[in-house]
Amino acid sequence: MTFDISHPDVRAAVERALAEDLGSGDVTTDSCIAADAHAEARFVAKQEMTVAGVELLGLLFDDVKLLKKSGDRVTAGEELARVRGESRKLLTRERVTLNFLQRLSGVATLAARFVDEVKGTGVNILDTRKTTPGLRVLEKMAAAAGGVTNHRMGLYDAVLIKNNHITLAGGVRKAMEQARKSGKPIEVEVRTRAEVEEALECGASRILLDNMTPDEAAIEVGLIDHRAETEISGGITLANVRAYAEARPDFISSGAITHSAVAVDINCGIYPLTG
């Protein structure tokens, strides 16, 4: 997924953020800064990071010069972008802009670390639906900027039978028989050898090995032996993802990429323009 600022969810998120912060007006800026003053804002990385969301500046300001793009890896001191315009506009939109850039670059930075941890194994890292409500599209774009593969965007675009579905449907077989009505490939979350074997017998396209140890997962991946795609999930962290990757699944998914990403440090310096 590219960082697409034309996506309606992206535009709506930016509009909501501006309305939330600005309200009836910026009383501080409007009282301190002349209406005809102009300035330049410079966005600078204060730490090593993977950039995400810098393209949003095009939705927030008119005169934008991007020096980096989403997916770029930068070090402390590198400039990401410059923006020129009315001083009041730069000031009133500074915090919203930084909130987006710092949060999304934090997601991309953590995603890139997960990808780096499994380098050479052939395993693809997936994100999940564990995203901030209302920001899923943006956070998944950020995850993709960090190099992970986006899993399903929502409940509407893929079949994933999880343990609660299995319990309520009366077992793996019954759940899969009903799910075939969707006409989509079926992924099944399993917790036991019996469920693995039943999912294979019923023709699952992908088997999700949930909350197993790396050694347990390796045994099941070997049993499945490419008869279905394999995915590992449950408690995946930077500390253990390499061990799980050594089990040689096709995919490893981690909710931490979005729900536990820490915002990175980006500075916005605003300087007056004269003449």
Q: Which residues are catalytic, by number?
A: 95, 130, 162, 189, 210
Q: Give 60-104 as a DSSP string.
A: H-SEEEESS-TT-EE-TT-EEEEEEEEHHHHHHHHHHHHHHHHHH
Q: Please report, for residues 75, 103, 256, the alpha-carbon distance to residue 260 in angstroms, rounded to integers and kept in the order given.
A: 22, 11, 5
Burial of 10 (0-12, 13-18, 19+ CB in 10 A): buried
Distance CA 257, CA 64 (A): 29
**What residue type is assigned to position 237 of the chain?**
T
Classify residue 210 as left (phi > 0), alpha (psi -120 to 50) or beta: beta
Collapsing DSSP states into helix, strand and coil, what is residue 93? helix
Q: In the block, which residue shows the tokens 């088997």?
A: 207
